[in-house]
Amino acid sequence: MSDSRTADLARAEGLIGEALAASPNSPLAHFTKCEILRASGRFSEAIPEFETVLAIDRNNAWVLFALAHCKLNTGLIAQVIPIVERAIRLSPRDPNIALMYYYRIGEIDLLQSRVDEAILWLEKARGANPEYSFIHAFPAAAYGLSGKPERAAAELAEARRLQREGSYSSIARLRKGFFGVSKNLALFEATFFAGLRKAGMPEE
């Protein structure tokens, strides 16, 4: 949301270094450093920082959500669901539970080809908060893989309506927006993109 993102992140990193020098055991200062690293795409560096925060404040559900995000983006997919399940136990009435937790479990199940389980979690996420395009795009892929083309097409149409910027117009355009490690891209190709093709999304 900044016109000077790189400079702002660099300034934030300098300031948080000063804060940690003054208060090295502050969980808030460590968490802020984690978020700066995460915003910078330095996921591998963020993971031990998040674990430092959890050693001080083990019941922080938001830290667990952010840690799970970093694990996903470093290819440690098998570790993601247990972290998210722990966050759900800590914050079962979280107002963002659909976007932060239900969706993430459904995404990981889909990437690991557990399509039926993915549908259950993604439907739960969509039912709790249907106002985001990706909450429909992932069920579209899951329905496509499960042999339900009409439901897949309906979800894809809703994702397109909500996005309004053409992100779901083609596989090629969607692939350009992908960020993460190459291992994850292979999983997305085999599941998410494959399912969207079955939902009717063209290549170009």
pLDDT (tens, 9 = 90+) of the chain, 204 residues, equals 789 999 999 999 999 999 999 999 899 999 999 999 999 999 999 999 999 999 998 999 999 999 999 999 999 999 999 999 999 999 999 999 998 999 999 999 999 999 999 999 999 999 999 999 999 999 999 999 999 999 999 999 999 999 977 789 999 998 887 766 777 999 999 999 999 999 999 999
Torsion of the alpha carbons at 8, 9, 11 and 14, rounded to the nearest 10: 170
pTM of structure = 0.90
Q: CB atoms < 10 A from the CB of 86, how many?
A: 17
Domain that holds residue 127: 105-204
Q: How many folded domains does the chain comprise? A: 1
Whether residue 164 is contained in a domain is answered as yes
What 3-state DSSP class applies to 172?
Answer: helix
Whether residue 68 is contained in a domain is answered as no
Whether residue 197 is contained in a domain is answered as yes
Whether residue 97 is contained in a domain is answered as no
Q: Tokens 């000077």: give the residue.
A: 4
3-state DSSP: the chain helix, strand, coil percent, rounded to 5? Answer: 75, 0, 25
Whether residue 163 is contained in a domain is answered as yes
Whether residue 147 is contained in a domain is answered as yes
What is the Cα–Cα distance from 85 to 34, expressed in whole angstroms?
Answer: 21
Question: For the domain that residue 110 is a member of, what is the CATH number?
Answer: 1.25.40.10
Token reading at 99: 């976007």
